[in-house]
Amino acid sequence: MISQNTLAQPVMFAQARALFPGFMLCGVIGLAATFVSEHYGGPQFLYALLIGIAFHFLTENAKCLPGIEASAKKLVRVGVALLGVRIAASDVSDLGVAGVAALVGAVVLTISFGVVFARVLKLPPMLGLLSGGGTGICGISATLAISSTLPQTNENERYTLLTAIGIAAFSTLAMVLYPLIVTHLGLDVQEAGLFLGGSIHDVSQVVGAGYIISPAVGDAATLAKMFRVAMLMPVVMILALGFHSRRKETAGASSAKVPLVPVFLLVFAALVVINSLGWIPHAVVTGCSEISRWCLVVSIAALGVKTSFQKLAELGWKPIILLSGEAAFVAVYMLAVVYLLRTFG
């Protein structure tokens, strides 16, 4: 008698073979983006996006499309889930009550500002939510995580890509300019770390900006930034619960299979708890962080392949104003916090 496992194997091989061309395309784009970033400088994610857009024509290829779709929607969840190994409860205690309150305020207020400012500019609130979340939490990683909780529509995919491009650009600009602001204002190590870690979008740019000034500032900025990364879990959890009914509607016939809380969020939370208990060796943390980065790079490359410049251009100039306004808002907020802490702390 033939077992169910024996019958399932050919099906699994057939599915893997169907996904292979598109997955390899996005993987090669990720490798190319990494090579350019490591040898010539610049943000790895932005290169993956732009190179991916150049291969948009391959979405019309029936052999590539399944792997591209899987890379864009599935890998991002793996990448975000594995981010949990980078966070520990001790990070919170090291910041102090004032620092934690300031960073929570930065996340909540930036997301709120993004939604409100999007309405003022007569843009979709979803774009304000994505851009505000990406700017307020941890850049492209947060944008992809938030996007995965939203209804999976073509419009939301375009908003996600546009937000990712804008965040990569503004985060790189901030990495260059904000150390000059720190030096000009004469901020001390803790003040500089709180400002840089609380206002720059992506983790890598925070590290770069901090170590431009000094190793001590780099460490302080990274600590503040990792707390913002930790805010990803409660924010995405709330959004997942809020948009659960809409995700069921877009899932159609398979709506019964849509969980109330996405599995990747539960894995993220579990890894944070396990890492806080000190049960994950440093080598495993490093390995999981690297796997997470590669999953996100391949996913953003796939998202780039799925989107054309023509569709992005249809959104007009207002999203640029939205993203620049959010970047300015969180920077001014963190500077105000630094001066309040200096005066009354």
- Asked if residue 40 is part of any domain, the answer here is no
Give 123-145 as a 3 state SS string. CCHHHHHHHHHHHHCCCHHHHHH
pLDDT per residue as tens digits for the range 140-152? 888 988 988 887 7
pLDDT per residue as tens digits for the range 299-337? 888 888 887 666 666 667 899 999 999 999 999 999 999
- Asked if residue 41 is part of any domain, the answer here is no
- Asked if residue 27 is part of any domain, the answer here is no
Residue 161: pLDDT above 70? yes
Stretch 160-167: mean pLDDT, rounded? 86
pLDDT per residue as tens digits for the range 277-300? 989 999 999 999 899 889 988 988
Count of the separate structural domains present in the chain: 1
Residue 60: pLDDT above 50? yes
Q: Which domain holds residue 113?
A: 63-344
Residue 156: pLDDT above 70? yes
pLDDT per residue as tens digits for the range 221-265? 988 988 888 888 899 888 888 876 665 565 554 444 556 667 887
Residue 329 confidence (pLDDT): 97
Q: Which residue has the higher pLDDT, 131 or 309?
A: 131
- Asked if residue 287 is part of any domain, the answer here is yes
- Asked if residue 195 is part of any domain, the answer here is yes
Residue 345: pLDDT above 70? no
On average, the pLDDT of the chain sits at: 85
Residue 166: pLDDT above 90? no
Q: How far is the C-alpha of 126 from the C-alpha of 150, rounded, in Å?
A: 8
Give the chain as a 3 state SS string. CCCHHHHHHHHHHHHHHHHHHHHHHHHHHHHHHHHHHHHHCCCHHHHHHHHHHHCHHHHHCCCCHHHHHHHHHCHHHHHHHHHHHHCCHHHHHHHHHHHHHHHHHHHHHHHHHHHHHHHHCCCCHHHHHHHHHHHHCCCHHHHHHHHHHCCCCHHHHHHHHHHHHHHHHHHHHHHHHHHHHHHHHCCCHHHHHHHHHHHCCCHHHHHHHHHHHCHHHHHHHHHHHHHHHHCHHHHHHHHHHHCHHHHHHHHHHHHHHCCCCCHHHHHHHHHHHHHHCCCCCHHHHHHHHHHHHHHHHHHHHHHHHHCCHHHHHCCCCHHHHHHHHHHHHHHHHHHHHHHHHHHHC
- Asked if residue 171 is part of any domain, the answer here is yes
